Amino acid sequence: MTSPYRVVLGASFDDLHPRLQAYFDAIPAGAVGRGSGVFDTVGTPRRWLWPVLALFARSHVMFPVWERSVPFTVENRPSVTRDGAPAVAAVRVFDLHGRRLRMVDQIGLSGGEPGLVDRLGEPVRTEARFTATVRDGGLRLRSNAVWVVLGGRRLRIPRPLAPVVVLTERWDDADERQLVSITVALPVIGRLYQYRGRFRYGIAAEGEQP
C-alpha cells in the first residue's frame, strides 16, 4: 500500500532525513511500526481548559493534564480511509501519573482535496486537514481546516475560530532519536494543548519486537 505522506509530499519526500523516510513510508502488510520514548510535556497548564479536554479524553483525543517526563509508546499500522484511500492508524499510550491513557487517530489522504486528513478519536470526534512541507530534513504539518463530529455529522469550525494544529517531526543524529512536537493554538488565546518529546522506532512483523 502507498504511504499517504509519500503521495502528498511527492518529490519532496526524498528530502526527508533517511530515518524519517523509513518512518513515514508505507508499512508492509502484516507488519507494525512500534516506538517508545518520553514526552517532555503533555497537556496544558491552563486548568480552565481541563473540563473541555475531559470531553475529548472520553474519545481518546486529548487529556486534561499538565505533566512532564511522560513515558509513551506508539504503534502504527497500515489502514484505509472510509473512501478507500491509504492511511496510517496510530495508537499512542501515555503513562501519566497514576493512569495509562490512549490517543487514537487515523491520518490519510483527504480524498479529492490536496493534503492529509487526521481523524482523531474512537469514535471519531475531530478531523483536521493539513498541508505538509519538508524543512531541513524534517516534516511539518499545519492545519488549514478543522471539523468536529457530532451525531455522525461533520461540522466545520469557521476559520477565524478554528484551532491551528502544528506537528513537526525531526531526526536528531547526535541522540539517534526522533523528535516530535504537536501544538494546538487559537489566534488570540494562544496555545491550548501540546506534547513534545523524543523516541526510537522500528518496523517488525506482528508479534515481534522491532
- CATH assignment of the domain containing 22: 2.40.128.20
Helices (H), the chain: 4-9, 18-24, 50-57
With 90 as the cut, is the pLDDT of residue 188 above it? no
Q: What digits encode the pLDDT tens for the residues 123-145?
A: 999 999 999 999 999 999 999 99
14: how many CB neighbours lie within 10 A of its CB? 11
**Residue 209 counted as domain residue:** no
Taking residues 157-182, what's their average pLDDT?
96
CA-based nearest residue to 162, from 132, 187, 183: 187
Q: What digits encode the pLDDT tens for the residues 6-39?
A: 999 999 999 999 999 999 999 998 999 999 999 9
The total of structural domains in the chain comes to 1
Give me the pLDDT at residue 28, please. Answer: 92
Give me the pLDDT at residue 206, please. Answer: 79
Q: What digits encode the pLDDT tens for the residues 161-173?
A: 999 999 999 999 9
**Residue 140 counted as domain residue:** yes
**Residue 210 counted as domain residue:** no
**Residue 43 counted as domain residue:** yes
**Residue 124 counted as domain residue:** yes
For residue 56, the Cα-to-chain-centroid distance in whole angstroms is 15
Give me the pLDDT at residue 78, please. Answer: 95
Quote the domain boundaries for residue 76: 4-200
**Residue 29 counted as domain residue:** yes
End-to-end CA distance of the chain: 20
**Residue 102 counted as domain residue:** yes
**Residue 206 counted as domain residue:** no
